[in-house]
């Protein structure tokens, strides 16, 4: 009740200052409240109920009559009253300009009015779903009026996550962490997305100040993640990591391993892909170990097979069983789809290209396919050698020492020197003339 | 450099003949080490808890704290709680706005003292207004553009549920008067982008906001200090605008009133739904009775 009184006083203040933008719309769907003293002909059929809320059940008692005729008469009266009420309502609504459904008999109206007068403190105005009656929806985000709702929503979310994590760690006696414990924590380098990337994610232009605020919170979260992981709080660490993954750069691994040797792996078919360079030539090299044929195949003697059909079927389906297995493995080296011998007619180039295989003693162990571009014969053969030695290293890491000692893993830095002014070539001078 | 000078200036601390046995604890390596640390700390905490009932009976909940952290807000303010928060401290007398005179109690040490006997009823009036606006389904916007007001304004808006909004960074000029430019066309057309009540915790820094509210007929409540003209806003609350504790108390009271209004609205919603349901039921049963009646009539004739 006190709340209702306070409510009324609040509304009174509003009305006094005439704040409502459309004053005739705000509480106007109900007919204006008429004080009980001024009601005309209001209580003839029903007695006035003082200080009690009129309930539907109480009303029923009045209409409880066994006489059917009386009930029928009542029904007639009710219907007539309903029609009259409908007319009255329609008139009223026309005046006020509101559309609405017509409902209720005279008796019901009276009971409503009585309800009103007893409970005017409760029902001074009709409950309106849409108080402004414009059909527009109020904004959903609490940060709508800041103009950058997406950013502030995200910020609020991160802040609450940080606060929850902090309180959880405090409860687990992990915060504040003493100095000796802090020293034994591992480091987790964090590389966040750039300001532009984050701005694109959120759909707003990200200024440096906003970026700084966000990253400060993320760094704090990263610290809590490290503590949680070190102490074995897996669930907390999982949640923190999940949040941080949204903001971590996709090139994080690349950035962290920049400058360090990239590890090349063999793919799912056993091929290695490496890259070699010399002078202005480049060679893309694929290497795959040569498959050794099994020696356990039974060689079929044609004369032993009786039927011709069987022989034919066997020949087509398993041709390899009709020959003695070759124990010498064959290897193929293709450069731009051309065999080695054809592509490098000069023996010196050929030797240069396969030198890594010779040194490793793996001459016939690998099938090599390569695409070479740029430069001349020397450059291309040198690039191929570089690529082959890198590929050998992928397949046999133990060869590292040998290849490094023979400088085969080194990209030969010698390039054609530029021509200088005043000289015929890079170094060659013009013929000296005495005068 | 300065530290060495300081070290030389201070008298030498006499060293103990036998050093204390508090040596540096070993670093933590395994998960067991971490668990042991946690357990040890929990043990110490439990020990403290056990023995604290034999000492003072003040607990963290019932000690008086004068700290900046957000406490549980109260629904009503008293002069003493406002005094404790320092709400009566105004600015320098030389900076007092002459229109603030009715709310000034006096002068002390060159600064105006605000009369809290005026503050309390004005605060109550503002709270009633917030409750009524929340009940009627209006949008309530809290504006507090200082970093220490951020959390206050956020939690105040949170108490009012989906009708509460807040600004903690900067009021962008044109938020109310230039919605078509500020927001995308579909947002401007489909969203009701005007609040029904604006509550400012630092009005002097947000004059643009007050002006825009006046232009778009939005009622305003604000904490006015002695250097502010109280006529700027519709419902001034004379108090210290620089104290976060005061802002916390005021925002807390207003948001709790808003929460009450929201709760009353929910009640009304429920009652309206129930009435609707009852009406629908009545219609249904009336229709059934009519049908029966017609059947009887048809069978009798």
> Domain spans of chain B?
73-263
How many Å lie between the alpha carbon of B258 and the closest alpha carbon of chain A?
11
Q: List CB contacts of B198: < 8 A, sequence separation 6 or more.
A: B140, B141, B143, B209, B213, B218, B219, B220, B221
- The answer to whether the Cβ–Cβ distance between B164 and A3 falls below 8 Å is no
Of B27, B38, B261, the CB nearest to A172: B38
Taking the alpha carbons of A380, A382, A387, A391 in that order, is the dihedral positive or negative? positive
The yes-or-no verdict on residue B276 having pLDDT over 70 is yes
Scan residues 39-98 of A and list those with Cβ closer than 8 Å to B: 56
- The answer to whether the Cβ–Cβ distance between A7 and B217 falls below 8 Å is no
How many Å lie between the alpha carbon of A208 and the closest alpha carbon of chain B?
15
Of A4, A11, A132, the CB nearest to B192: A132
Q: From edge to edge, which strands make up the β-sheet containing B197-200?
A: B164-167, B140-143, B197-200, B220-224, B235-238
Which of the pair, A110 or B27, is modelled with greater confidence?
A: B27
A332 reaches B (C-beta below 8 A): no
Residue B143, strand partner residues: B167, B200
Using 50, 70 and 90 to split pLDDT, how confident is the model at A2? low
pLDDT (tens digit per residue) in A243-256: 999 999 888 777 77
CA–CA separation, B66 and A130 (whole Å): 43
CA–CA separation, B122 and B60 (whole Å): 32
How many Å lie between the alpha carbon of B95 and the closest alpha carbon of chain A?
30
Range name among A43-57, A376-390, B51-65, B185-199 with the lowest pLDDT average: A43-57
Of A56, A178, A232, the CB nearest to B34: A232
CA–CA separation, A352 and B38 (whole Å): 65
How many Å lie between the alpha carbon of B42 and the closest alpha carbon of chain A?
7
B41 reaches A (C-beta below 8 A): yes
How many Å lie between the alpha carbon of B55 and the closest alpha carbon of chain A?
24
Length of chain A: 435
Chain B residue with Cα closest to A183: B27
Which pLDDT score, from 0 to 100, does residue A362 have? 86
- The answer to whether the Cβ–Cβ distance between B192 and A21 falls below 8 Å is no
- CATH entry, B73-263, from 3.90.1300.10, 3.20.20.70, 3.40.50.10490, 2.60.40.420: 3.40.50.10490
DSSP per-residue codes, A326-358: P-SPP--EEETTEEHHHH--SHHHHHHHHHHHH
Which pLDDT score, from 0 to 100, does residue A425 have? 95
B277 reaches A (C-beta below 8 A): no
**CB B102, CB B220: distance < 8 Å:** no
Chain A residue with Cα closest to B175: A145
Question: Which of B22, B160, B167, B197 would you mutate first to test chain A, the one with the most A CBs within 10 A?
Answer: B167
Which pLDDT score, from 0 to 100, does residue B75 have? 79
CA–CA separation, A415 and A212 (whole Å): 46
CA–CA separation, B160 and B157 (whole Å): 5
Taking the alpha carbons of B8, B12, B17, B19 in that order, is the dihedral positive or negative? negative
Q: List CB contacts of A176: < 8 A, sequence separation 6 or more.
A: none
Quick one: average pLDDT of A325-339?
79
- The answer to whether the Cβ–Cβ distance between A181 and B137 falls below 8 Å is no
> What's the mean pLDDT when you consider all of chain B?
90
Of B26, B125, B260, the CB nearest to A13: B125
A265 reaches B (C-beta below 8 A): no
> What's the mean pLDDT when you consider all of chain A?
77
Size of interface A-B (CB pairs under 8 A): 126
The yes-or-no verdict on residue B203 having pLDDT over 60 is yes
Of A128, A140, A180, the CB nearest to B137: A128
- From first CA to last CA, the distance across chain B in angstroms is 118
The yes-or-no verdict on residue A274 having pLDDT over 90 is yes
* Domain-wise residue ranges, chain A: 1-38+53-100, 148-257, 268-291+330-416
The percent of residues above 70 in pLDDT, for chain B, comes to 91
**CB A203, CB A150: distance < 8 Å:** yes
Quick one: average pLDDT of A319-348?
81
**CB A39, CB B256: distance < 8 Å:** no
Using 50, 70 and 90 to split pLDDT, how confident is the model at B52? confident
Question: What region does B221 belong to: left with phi over 0, alpha with psi -120 to 50, or beta?
Answer: beta
Q: List CB contacts of B103: < 8 A, sequence separation 6 or more.
A: B114, B115, B118, B119, B224, B226, B230, B236, B238
How many Å lie between the alpha carbon of B210 and the closest alpha carbon of chain A?
14
**CB B195, CB B141: distance < 8 Å:** yes
A14 contacts on B by Cβ (under 8 Å): 129, 132-133, 219
Using 50, 70 and 90 to split pLDDT, how confident is the model at A73? low
Question: Which of B121, B153, B169, B208 would you mutate first to test chain A, the one with the most A CBs within 10 A?
Answer: B169
CATH placement of domain A268-291+330-416: 3.30.230.10
- Give the pair of three-digit tokens for residue A217: 């919170």
- Give the pair of three-digit tokens for residue B292: 């029966």
Angle at B250 between CA B248 and CA B251, to 5 degrees: 65
How many Å lie between the alpha carbon of A253 and the closest alpha carbon of chain B?
26
- The answer to whether the Cβ–Cβ distance between B165 and A6 falls below 8 Å is no
B173 reaches A (C-beta below 8 A): no
Of A7, A178, A183, the CB nearest to B264: A7
- The answer to whether the Cβ–Cβ distance between B268 and A127 falls below 8 Å is yes
Quick one: average pLDDT of A104-125?
47
Q: How far is CA B102 from CA A168, A295, B114, B238, in A?
A: 50, 110, 9, 10
Eight-state DSSP code of residue B63: S
How many Å lie between the alpha carbon of A272 and the closest alpha carbon of chain B?
39
CA–CA separation, B131 and B258 (whole Å): 5
Which of the pair, A271 or A319, is modelled with greater confidence?
A: A271
Using 50, 70 and 90 to split pLDDT, how confident is the model at A406? very high
Which of B7, B252, B84, B182 is CA-nearest to residue A145? B182
The yes-or-no verdict on residue A395 having pLDDT over 80 is yes
B193 reaches A (C-beta below 8 A): yes
A189 reaches B (C-beta below 8 A): no
CA–CA separation, A70 and A78 (whole Å): 12
Which pLDDT score, from 0 to 100, does residue A136 have? 87
- The answer to whether the Cβ–Cβ distance between A184 and B28 falls below 8 Å is yes
What is the greatest pairwise CA distance in chain A?
A: 150
| C-alpha A137: how far from chain center | 28
State the CB neighbour count (10 A cutoff) for residue A204: 17
Q: How far is CA B26 from CA A54, A180, A283, A284, B34, in A?
A: 78, 7, 55, 53, 12
CA–CA separation, B294 and B300 (whole Å): 10
Which pLDDT score, from 0 to 100, does residue A261 have? 76
**CB B68, CB B245: distance < 8 Å:** yes
Which of the pair, A24 or A289, is modelled with greater confidence?
A: A289
From the number of C-beta atoms within 10 Å of its C-beta (0-12, 13-18, 19+), residue B84 rates as middle
A38 reaches B (C-beta below 8 A): no
CA–CA separation, A107 and A89 (whole Å): 14
Which of the pair, A300 or A349, is modelled with greater confidence?
A: A349
Using 50, 70 and 90 to split pLDDT, how confident is the model at A324? low
pLDDT (tens digit per residue) in A39-69: 444 444 444 344 444 444 544 555 544 455 5
Taking the CA atoms of residue A78, residue A82, residue A84 and residue A90 in that order, the dihedral angle to the nearest 10 degrees is 170
B27 contacts on A by Cβ (under 8 Å): 180-181, 183-184
The yes-or-no verdict on residue B61 having pLDDT over 50 is yes
pLDDT (tens digit per residue) in B94-137: 999 999 999 999 999 999 999 999 999 999 999 999 999 999 99
Which of B222, B180, B177 is CA-nearest to residue B199? B222
Question: Which of A142, A158, A173, A206 would you mutate first to test chain B, the one with the most B CBs within 10 A?
Answer: A142
From the number of C-beta atoms within 10 Å of its C-beta (0-12, 13-18, 19+), residue B8 rates as exposed
A128 reaches B (C-beta below 8 A): yes
Question: Which of A127, A130, A177, A231 would you mutate first to test chain B, the one with the most B CBs within 10 A?
Answer: A127
The yes-or-no verdict on residue A212 having pLDDT over 80 is yes
Q: List CB contacts of A281: < 8 A, sequence separation 6 or more.
A: A372, A373, A374, A375, A376, A379, A380, A382, A383
User: Is the model's pTM score more than 0.95?
Assistant: no
A163 reaches B (C-beta below 8 A): no
Of B38, B137, B269, the CB nearest to A174: B38
State the CB neighbour count (10 A cutoff) for residue A49: 16
B268 contacts on A by Cβ (under 8 Å): 127
Which pLDDT score, from 0 to 100, does residue A4 have? 62
CA–CA separation, A288 and A394 (whole Å): 11
The yes-or-no verdict on residue A134 having pLDDT over 90 is no
CA–CA separation, B215 and B229 (whole Å): 18
Which of the pair, B24 or A343, is modelled with greater confidence?
A: A343
Question: If you compute the radius of gyration of chain B from its CA atoms, what whole number of angstroms results?
Answer: 30
**CB A384, CB A276: distance < 8 Å:** yes
Using 50, 70 and 90 to split pLDDT, how confident is the model at A312? confident
Which of the pair, A290 or A345, is modelled with greater confidence?
A: A345
pLDDT (tens digit per residue) in B259-272: 999 999 999 989 99
ipTM, two decimals, is 0.77
Taking the CA atoms of residue B234, residue B237, residue B239 and residue B241 in that order, the dihedral angle to the nearest 10 degrees is -50
């Amino acid at each position: 009740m006190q709340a209702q009184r306070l409510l009324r006083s609040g509304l009174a203040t509003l009305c006094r200052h005439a704040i409502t933008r459309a004053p005739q719309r705000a509480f106007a769907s109900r007919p204006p409240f008429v004080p009980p003293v001024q009601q005309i002909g209001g209580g003839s059929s029903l007695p006035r109920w003082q200080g009690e809320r009129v309930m539907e059940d109480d009303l029923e008692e009045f209409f409880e009559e066994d006489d059917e005729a009386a009930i029928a008469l009542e029904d007639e009266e009710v219907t007539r009253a309903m029609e009259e009420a409908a007319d009255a309502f329609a008139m009223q609504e026309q005046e006020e300009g509101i559309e609405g459904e017509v409902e209720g008999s005279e008796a019901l109206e009276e009971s409503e009015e009585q309800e009103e007068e007893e409970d005017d403190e409760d029902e001074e105005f009709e409950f309106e779903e849409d108080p402004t009656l414009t059909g527009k929806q109020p904004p959903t985000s609490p940060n709508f009026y800041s103009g950058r709702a997406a950013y502030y929503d995200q910020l609020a979310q991160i802040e609450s996550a940080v606060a929850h994590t902090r309180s959880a760690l405090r409860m687990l006696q992990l915060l504040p962490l003493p100095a000796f414990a802090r020293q034994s924590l591992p480091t987790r380098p964090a590389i966040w997305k750039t300001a532009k990337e984050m701005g694109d994610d959120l759909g707003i232009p990200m200024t440096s100040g906003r970026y700084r605020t966000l990253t400060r919170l993320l760094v704090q979260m990263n610290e809590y993640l490290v503590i949680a992981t070190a102490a074995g709080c897996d669930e907390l660490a999982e949640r923190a990591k999940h949040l941080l993954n949204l903001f971590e750069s996709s090139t994080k691994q690349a950035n962290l391993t920049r400058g360090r040797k990239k590890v090349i792996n063999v793919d799912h078919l056993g091929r290695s892909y490496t890259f070699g360079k010399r002078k202005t030539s480049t060679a893309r090299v694929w290497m795959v170990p040569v498959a050794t044929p099994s020696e356990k195949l039974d060689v079929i003697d044609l004369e032993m097979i009786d039927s011709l059909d069987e022989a034919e079927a066997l020949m087509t389906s398993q041709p390899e069983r009709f020959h003695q297995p070759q124990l010498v493995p064959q290897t193929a080296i293709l450069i731009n789809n051309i065999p080695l011998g054809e592509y490098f007619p000069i023996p010196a180039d050929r030797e240069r290209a396969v030198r890594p295989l010779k040194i490793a003693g793996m001459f016939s162990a690998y099938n090599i396919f390569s695409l070479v571009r740029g430069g001349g014969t020397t450059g291309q053969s040198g690039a191929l050698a570089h690529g082959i030695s890198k590929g050998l290293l992928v397949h046999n890491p133990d060869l590292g020492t040998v290849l490094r000692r023979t400088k085969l893993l080194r990209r030969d830095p010698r390039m054609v020197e530029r021509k200088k002014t005043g000289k015929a070539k890079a170094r060659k001078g013009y013929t000296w003339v005495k005068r | 450099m300065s530290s060495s000078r300081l070290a030389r200036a201070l008298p030498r601390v006499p060293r103990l003949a036998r050093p204390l046995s508090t040596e540096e604890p070993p670093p933590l390596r395994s998960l067991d080490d971490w668990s042991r640390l946690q357990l040890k700390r929990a043990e110490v905490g439990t020990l403290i808890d056990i023995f604290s009932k034999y000492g003072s009976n003040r607990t963290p909940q019932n000690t008086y704290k004068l700290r900046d952290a957000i406490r549980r807000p109260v629904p009503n303010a008293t002069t003493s709680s406002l005094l404790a928060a320092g709400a009566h401290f105004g600015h320098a007398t030389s900076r007092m706005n002459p229109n603030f005179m009715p709310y000034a109690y006096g002068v002390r040490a060159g600064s105006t003292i605000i009369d809290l006997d005026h503050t309390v009823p004005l605060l109550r009036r503002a709270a009633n207004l917030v409750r009524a606006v929340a009940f009627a389904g209006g949008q309530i916007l809290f504006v507090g553009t200082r970093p220490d007001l951020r959390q206050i304004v956020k939690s105040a808006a949170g108490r009012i549920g989906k009708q509460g909004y807040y600004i903690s960074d900067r009021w962008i000029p044109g938020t109310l008067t230039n919605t078509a430019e500020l927001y995308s066309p579909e947002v401007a057309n489909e969203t009701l982008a005007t609040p029904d009540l604006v509550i400012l915790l630092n009005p002097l820094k947000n004059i643009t906001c007050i002006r825009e509210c006046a232009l778009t007929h939005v009622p305003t409540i604000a904490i006015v200090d002695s250097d502010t003209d109280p006529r700027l806003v519709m419902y001034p609350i004379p108090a210290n605008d620089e104290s976060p504790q005061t802002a916390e108390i005021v925002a807390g009271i207003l948001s709790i009133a808003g929460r009450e209004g929201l709760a009353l609205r929910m009640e009304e919603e429920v009652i309206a739904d129930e009435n609707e349901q009852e009406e629908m039921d009545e219609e249904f049963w009336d229709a059934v009775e009519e049908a029966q009646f017609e059947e009887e009539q048809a069978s009798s004739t």
